[in-house]
Structure 1
Amino acid sequence: MFMGEYQHNIDNKGRLIVPAKFRDSLGESFVITRGLDQCLFGYPMEEWRTLEEKLKGLPLTKKDARAFTRFFFSGATESELDKTGRINIPATLVSYAKLDKECIILGVSNRIEIWSKALWEDYFTESEDSFAEIAENMIGFDI
């Protein structure tokens, strides 16, 4: 399980240090793709395969299912950690997530999320104000 919040800088070549606490769980090879809310999602291969199977089961006849699957898979790339614990994020994903110098890496249960520090702070501030309301809406999910 991934949890926690860490700050690292991305360099001009798209290299970003992955927190040491996440490296073993991500494994030698893992997948990074476009996430929701303008961040990137990173999945260990086993989690990616589970998600892939679920997405393959979506009906091809549904426009939203096709659009989501395209969005998710077209941005996906297999990543590996270098000797210093860095990953190389492709320019298309750097651009999508607006990663510029300061980044936030979050552990979110079965995945990591990579955010631009500015976007994360904006998202967190907006969500913090409505956290109680969000929690109340989660009651139906047996939490």
Structure 2
Amino acid sequence: MFIGSYAITMDAKGRMAIPAKVRDTLASVCEGRLVVTAHTEERCLLVYPEPQWLDLQPKIEALPNIHRKARRMQRLLLGYATPLELDGNGRVLLPQTLRDYASLEKKLMLIGQGKKLELWSESGWRQELDTGDDDESMPEEMLSLSL
């Protein structure tokens, strides 16, 4: 559903205009209703169409929170989850807590990831592209969970 990358801007109030191509897809998939939350491994935000989030949320809640990584995942994904809706101009207002988490300022990158999008600061995205992978082991339950 969501592919491509888009350079976008955010105003001083935290509003950002969703590109028309993405906005059209969001309108057809979720009538402009989104859930935005923190990424668990990188300092960016995950943007889900509401139906995708509603499918994913029970899986996150069902993770075995006895494991520290699973607990952290739940805290970030559920704790930062914020329902949002596109306004009449195709904009969304990001709460300050989400902007702070991802160090978002004026210049942003919106990155399609299939069923969801990622929202990065422009500098954070460039740094991510230049960073190599680290091979960290994860619990089997997390490997089977597609975020």
**Per-residue CA shift, 1:42-70, capped at 9, x if unaligned?**
00111101211211221233332222101
Look up the equivalent residue of 2:91 and give its one-letter code: R
Give the whole-Å Cα distance in 2 for the aligned partners of 1:22 and 1:63. Answer: 35
Q: Which residue of 2 aligns with 1:135?
A: none
- 1:24-103 paired onto structure 2 within 5 Å: 24-26=24-26, 27=30, 28-35=32-39, 36-103=41-108
User: Match for 1:110 among 101, 108, 115?
Assistant: 115
Look up the equivalent residue of 1:58 and give its one-letter code: L
Look up the equivalent residue of 2:10 and give its one-letter code: I
| Secondary structure at 1:70 match in 2 | helix
How many residues were matched structurally? 128
Give the whole-Å Cα distance in 2 for the aligned partners of 1:57 and 1:49. Answer: 13
> Contact 2:2 / 2:114 at 8 angstroms: preserved in 1?
yes
Q: Which residue of 2 aligns with 1:2?
A: 2
CA RMSD of aligned residues (A): 1.4
**Per-residue CA shift, 1:105-131, capped at 9, x if unaligned?**
11111101111001101111225xx7x
Look up the equivalent residue of 2:97 and give its one-letter code: T
Over the matched positions of the two proteins, sequence identity in percent amounts to 37
Greater fraction strand: 1
TM-score (norm 2): 0.81
List gaps (5 residues or longer) in structure 2: 134-147
TM-score (norm 1): 0.83
> Contact 2:11 / 2:106 at 8 angstroms: preserved in 1?
yes
Look up the equivalent residue of 1:50 and give its one-letter code: D
Rg comparison, structure with higher value: 1
> Contact 2:33 / 2:49 at 8 angstroms: preserved in 1?
yes
**Per-residue CA shift, 1:76-98, capped at 9, x if unaligned?**
10011111111000001111111
